Amino acid sequence: MRTALVTGATGGLGQHIVRFLDSKGVRTIIHYNKNEEIAHKLEDELKHVACIIKGDISDYESVLSMSEEVSQKVGPVDMIINNASITIDKLLIKYTEDEWDRVINTNLKGTFNVIKSFLPQMIKYGGGDIINISSYSGIRGSEGQAAYSASKAGLIGLTLSLSKELSVYNIKINVLVPGYLPLGMGLKAAEAMKRAVDMSARRNLSSPDDVVELIYFILKSRSITGQVFTCESRVGFNY
């Protein structure tokens, strides 16, 4: 049975991911930072939860402790879905250094922290899969989201570079761009969601079901690595 760590598992998309993986018989490690109640509800609801872990992914020592805890309780992880992220939406001229650091340290450095800390386990296991959740803001940019866009663009560069480094360990790593979802952060960005609908070829938002099915397809693939997958058809969008 494969074992997947899902960061930010208590968020809107994170919950969809762990529920879908659980339905496919994948053992899930539910990561959370603040939403302990939701984490325990998921643990009670699902059949194949390996454990739940708390940690601040922006803090390397915290993530290293997470890795050691998982290694002791569960054993090696062979799948990682780097889903946890935050945004602070405002014009750059109004940003504070602390706000910028919080977004970059969670979304980009946090992903580095997780991969770096859990990589020895994956190598010991003999390979595995990493999926980094990015955003259209990281490809096209978005007004009022300079830090978020920069962090999500950074995930793409990180993934493409690591696909070359990690292939020797039989580890595949890819990026998934969900598009705007009627969940979590998406629900708090009404104007952005409206623009996303206007730019969509089908005039609708992305579907969480499509996202999790694409994640599962990537995880099952034998050799796909270093790719950017999108879940939304955009007019005039090319990558």
Identify the pLDDT of residue 136.
Answer: 83
Q: Is residue 81 part of a domain?
A: yes
Judge if pTM exceeds 0.85: yes
Catalytic residue of the set 148, 169, 180, 239: 148
Residue 80 lies in a domain: yes
Within a domain: 95: yes
List the one residue out of 140, 120, 122, 142 whose CA is nearest residue 130.
Answer: 122
DSSP state of 185: H
Q: Hey, which bits of 10-157 come out as E strands? A: 27-32, 49-54, 79-82, 128-133
Q: What is the pLDDT along the chain (239 residues), one digit of tens a residue?
A: 899 999 999 999 999 999 999 999 999 999 999 999 999 999 999 999 999 999 999 999 999 999 999 999 999 999 999 999 999 999 999 999 999 999 999 999 999 999 999 999 999 999 999 999 999 888 888 888 999 999 999 999 999 999 999 999 999 999 999 977 655 555 445 555 544 444 544 444 568 888 999 999 999 998 999 999 988 655 444 44
Contact present, 85 and 133 (Cβ < 8 Å) = yes
**Residue 16 located in a structural domain:** yes
Residue 111 tokens read as 């992903």
In a domain, 201, yes or no: no
**Residues 49, 6 contacting (CB under 8 angstroms):** no
* 25 occurs within a structural domain: yes
In this predicted structure, what is the pLDDT of residue 189?
53
Residue 236: its pLDDT value, please?
43
| CATH code, domain carrying 77 | 3.40.50.720
Q: What angle do CA 113, 24, 158 make, to 5 degrees?
A: 25
Q: Using alpha carbons, list the distances in angstroms from residue 204 to 3, 98, 143, 180, 207.
A: 33, 35, 21, 9, 9
Active site residue 148: yes
Q: Is 123 part of any domain?
A: yes
Using DSSP's 3-state secondary structure scheme, residue 81 falls into strand
Domain presence at residue 193: no
What range does the domain containing 35 cover? 3-181+208-230
- Count of domains observed in the chain: 1
At 192 the pLDDT is 53
